[in-house]
Amino acid sequence: MRKILHVEDDEDIRTIVDIALSFAEDFELRQCHDGPSAIEAAQIFQPDLLLLDFMMPDMTGREVHAAISGMPGMENVGTIYVTAKAEDSFSETLLLEGALKVITKPFDPMTLAAQLREAL
């Protein structure tokens, strides 16, 4: 079972992701509403994948990724960004920085689990 840490400040999107992945028996989902709580949760949860909103208050998804991947044993955690920024150049930059995938909002909840499996 793959552990996914989802970090998203929008409660509605957290709910959509929770429902979308609740049928995927191969994923265990933990959700956080901001970067600081995600960093704290990651220490205990030890996720295999970070599913990060890119634009959040206090910390961006990039900053959350940097903090978590800097933890012992978390250096190779995979990261998928979910963002409303649809520019190709922005997505390309994130992929060059090591993201496994960039999912543009709004996304199709019916295909989310398949997209995560494909990226992993």
pLDDT tens-place string over residues 78-106 = 999 999 887 788 899 999 999 999 999 99
Q: What is the pTM of this model?
A: 0.95
Q: Is the separation of the CB atoms in 76 and 120 below 8 Å?
A: no
Q: Is the Cα dihedral 88, 52, 98, 23 positive or negative?
A: negative
In 3D space, the residue among 106, 103, 101 whose CA is nearest the CA of residue 118 turns out to be 101
- The CATH superfamily holding the domain 2-119 is Response regulator (3.40.50.2300)
pLDDT tens-place string over residues 33-89 = 999 999 999 999 999 999 999 999 989 999 999 999 999 999 999 999 999 887 788
